[in-house]
Amino acid sequence: MAEVIGYCPLCTAPVEAGHGAVCISCYEKLPPDAELAQSADQARSAITQAPLKNRYADAYRVGRTIDSFGTAIKFAGFTIAGLILVVSLSNMRPASPLGPFGPQPALLNAAVLGGVIVAVLVAAVGFVLGVLVSAQGQILLATLDSAVNNSHFLTLSEKAAILGVPSTAGVPAAT
Ligand SMILES: [Zn+2]
């Protein structure tokens, strides 16, 4: 009986030295020896956790996309408001001496005033919408953080990897 050098990462069966190209149990192609699982437990946990990690990675991507979409809405609102402001201020005429109630100050020009009001409204609406959309993304991210943290299917270092914090975080320092 040949020495067991690792475990099949697809079905956890032991792989012996001098093995063929495929696993004797599941007939799938075996990876290079260095990439074989070191124990049946390690192979089992890799099999069960790969879908879980992909699922969380996908959900985090959605959360970050929604968050940056909100930021883009805020940015677009301010940009459009700025353009409206520039266009309406460029319409500003010098003070007219011919108003119905005597000389009119330049800023009372109705088109300019209307443009400024519209610009402020566009900026305000863009900001509020952007904050609301960003909040959806951030709520999703916070929910995911909580779900990952409370998962019984992940080890502490796997949770740390998914949350993107150093794996030593949350571990009491050895004294
Ligand atoms: Zn196998």
Domain annotation covers residue 172: no
Token pair recorded at residue 29: 């192609």
Token pair recorded at residue 90: 């460029």
Distance from Cα 18 to the centre of ligand 1, integer Å: 15
Are residues 84 and 133 both part of a single domain? yes
Distance from Cα 16 to the centre of ligand 1, integer Å: 12
Are residues 58 and 126 both part of a single domain? yes
Domain annotation covers residue 144: yes
Distance from Cα 14 to the centre of ligand 1, integer Å: 8
Whole-Å CA distances, 173 to 111, 154, 167, 169? 66, 21, 12, 9
Segments forming the whole domain that contains residue 11:
1-38
Distance from Cα 147 to the centre of ligand 1, integer Å: 31
Q: What is the pLDDT of residue 84?
A: 93
Domain annotation covers residue 64: yes
Q: What is the pLDDT of residue 163?
A: 86
Are residues 74 and 32 both part of a single domain? no
157 pLDDT exceeds 90? no
Are residues 142 and 113 both part of a single domain? yes
Average pLDDT, rounded, for the chain: 86
Query: Which residues lie at CB < 5 A from ion ligand 1?
Result: 8, 10-11, 13, 23, 25-26
Are residues 125 and 89 both part of a single domain? yes
Are residues 72 and 6 both part of a single domain? no
Are residues 106 and 145 both part of a single domain? yes
Domain annotation covers residue 173: no
Q: What is the pLDDT of residue 95?
A: 64
- DSSP H helices, 91-166, are 110-150, 156-163
